[in-house]
Structure 1
């Protein structure tokens, strides 16, 4: 047996599985067992320590619950420094806490997830607000229906769903993040088995971790989640929910193919799980070969919980979105929403309703699609021309981001790249933020063109080039 894992049991009342747990915890904290070290199999450690397998399983389960180890399907069990991901998140978030709006202007910001404020039609929206106040008076400023303003719910059904649903099927929320939060509060229990894409949106990971769920990751392929791996997992585990993004997935920018969507729905019916579909940036399709058909629109079995945010493309400060859930979950979700905040801003809901009904939404989306298509193509060109020797990426054909993989000849982690870029007034998003095990994101980073014009894109990519060219093995 490797001496690193030699455990001398104490002759006392402390159960052996607790002593094993304490041994590994202490040595991982001290760095004697390093981040990413492969731990013995249950069978091997059971044999080496002369204890039964249940003892090892109980010890490993406790370590996993507390964040000291993680499983790789088909590969083994690995050590994790408990606070390593928290440290990365803290370093990343503190960057933006310390940069007020004025200071941020001195940086090239490739981290944005929402449209540039310069594109928001302030004059039109000011008139919309005045028209709402003239039309609705004091009602525009008071709490009313907890489901959301009826006029907005009717407009959503009419404009986005061709009246397939009823107004009472729609629940207005304060953006996609609140949608995920109330789904977790209303439907998800501790120790539920949840599947997410690998990698995935860090805000969803945070919610599922907060609920103490068992999170399983399935690799993302060029057309969506690997369904063979998913079905293998479904045969072994009772999965309750799958969280995914069908268009320009965050962070990989992958879009699901129609065949994969249909297969997912069949699997949901066969294995009795539900899909949480976060419809992310689907308005920004630049590649004409990409067809918009949400999972919810294809759902014959009522297995999809649909989340849509208006904040990413309208104005982040307005904080509006909506949720459509299967009939069996309506009451639980509505109660969770009431317990969260009772009601979303009445004035903003009415303003969005009028914005939709007067045709401004369609015009604004056409404008954004045109403007961001130009930026998308410019950033893509810059990546190929300047960074082709150092990186790989898939062309998303839409959205606001590129997800970049560093080639093997580049000797730098994405967190180190983040720090060096920040020192040169460029902000990127390190890939570790999107993985349950942050080390799997060491070779990835995300860059966005949402807040940058062509000049900033060119300058920022040049900074990244200079750093990577000095990091070749």
Structure 2
């Protein structure tokens, strides 16, 4: 069958396709695989109990049940949910928003596909515009979302060495130059894949630069603020009329219902909703139905406290496991500040991270190779090929076994290099 350019691009292989293929295989077809790859959240008992209660109440209520299953809601998303969320954001964070500033999408991945292509690509005058990442590495799921080539650009980070085991990326403002080729700045906070939390000062500085350039600042808060708040460091939620904040219910514990939330200016939300109608017709009802009372009754604070505590203790435990098991190889871990991943840098790794990924997969452990996250950095920077992303969301025994296998394999790789050098 002959495919169009669109068909060839989106039916082909990509980093996010490989990640989701592995996720499906590991969790459904090969349960013995130690899955430390994708972003599937862990099971938080308090979260499961809360949403079980909400679902049970809906099923028992004929009106609520019909509203969930039998009605197309507003293309912008169910109005009651948007109103309650807007009231929460205005009251808690003094954001000047109403329901008109909020749209619901079928997952944040879908939202980013629409909003990125609304802003960047080939413009009406023939110019080409990019989405610019001021801090790379960035989320692998963005990489193939553009409808045109050379859709993304990035600025390399500065690297702060904190101690023998830990480092942190920062926005390198000395190298960040915004020009007319850029349609928007975009960051995830905390950053997927590294768990880096861009500081409040960095966010304010980025917003100032974006406003001066007349372009928006996009903040992906899928793991962060104001919910699910998987942050282990101090940071404040951020929004204004020049900012597009994209949230998700996935890491709150509802990845299967595919609910994204876009918060932006009223005009952008109107335009986004029009595009969303064309691509999705309507949004799913289950996410807003299950989570409406989170904001109506202010249950969101208690729930996010459980989520944050669950991941923080797992992050700390996995960090110590890695330090213990990797003690005799050159490694550093990005400072764990949030999200559900640890980012490990094997300085001087003799092979590329994709080859390491394949070797670990053959040993029964799934990780994500780091090089696919350096979107828009096309040079041969060695650092790109020396990192992997690990999820610690699975059961503790899975993480413990996986870390040991990873350490053994990396140790073997460095030993192979030493033996070749001595031969």
Tell whether the structures are fold-level matches, with TM greater than 0.5: yes
Deviation readout 1:231-273 (Å, 9 max, x if unpaired): 3xx25x442111211x220112221112211211211121212
More helix by share: 1
Deviation readout 1:257-307 (Å, 9 max, x if unpaired): 1221121121112121211111131244553xx3232331xx3xx221111
Deviation readout 1:57-114 (Å, 9 max, x if unpaired): xxxxxxxxx9xxxxxxxxxxxxxxx9xx9576666555445546151x2022111313
Q: Which runs of 4+ in 1 moved over 6 A?
A: 87-90
Residue 157 of structure 2 is aligned to residue 220 of structure 1:
yes
> Does structure 2 conserve the Cα–Cα contact (< 8 Å) formed by 1:274 and 1:303?
yes
* More moved, 340-349 vs 356-365: 356-365
The residue that corresponds to 1:151 in the other structure is 80
The residue that corresponds to 2:374 in the other structure is 435
SS at match of 1:243: strand
Cα distance in 1 for residues equivalent to 2:388 and 2:183: 30
Paired residue total: 377
Residue 106 of structure 2 is aligned to residue 106 of structure 1:
no
The residue that corresponds to 2:405 in the other structure is 463
> Does structure 2 conserve the Cα–Cα contact (< 8 Å) formed by 1:114 and 1:313?
no
> How much has 1:115 moved relative to structure 2?
1.6
The residue that corresponds to 1:139 in the other structure is 67
Cα distance in 1 for residues equivalent to 2:229 and 2:294: 19
Residue 323 of structure 2 is aligned to residue 384 of structure 1:
yes
Structure-to-structure mapping, 1:230-379, within 5 angstroms: 230-231=176-177, 234-235=178-179, 237-245=180-188, 247-282=189-224, 283-285=228-230, 287=232, 290-296=233-239, 299=240, 302-379=241-318
Higher RCO structure, 1 or 2 (CA under 8 Å, sep 6+): 2
Q: CA RMSD in A?
A: 2.7
Unaligned runs of 5+ in 1: 1-65, 67-81
* More moved, 152-161 vs 442-451: 152-161
The residue that corresponds to 2:339 in the other structure is 399
> Taking structure 1 as reference, are residues 321 and 238 closer, same or farther at Cα in structure 2, changes over 3 Å only?
same
Higher CA-based Rg: 1
> Does structure 2 conserve the Cα–Cα contact (< 8 Å) formed by 1:157 and 1:166?
yes
* More moved, 166-175 vs 90-99: 90-99
> How much has 1:309 moved relative to structure 2?
0.8
> How much has 1:372 moved relative to structure 2?
1.6
Cα distance in 2 for residues equivalent to 1:466 and 1:131: 50
Structure-to-structure mapping, 1:414-425, within 5 angstroms: 414-425=353-364
> How much has 1:431 moved relative to structure 2?
0.7
Structure-to-structure mapping, 1:153-168, within 5 angstroms: 153-162=82-91, 164-168=96-100
> Does structure 1 conserve the Cα–Cα contact (< 8 Å) formed by 2:100 and 2:266?
no
The residue that corresponds to 1:183 in the other structure is 115
Cα distance in 2 for residues equivalent to 1:96 and 1:114: 8
Unaligned runs of 5+ in 2: 123-127, 159-167, 418-423
The residue that corresponds to 2:51 in the other structure is 125
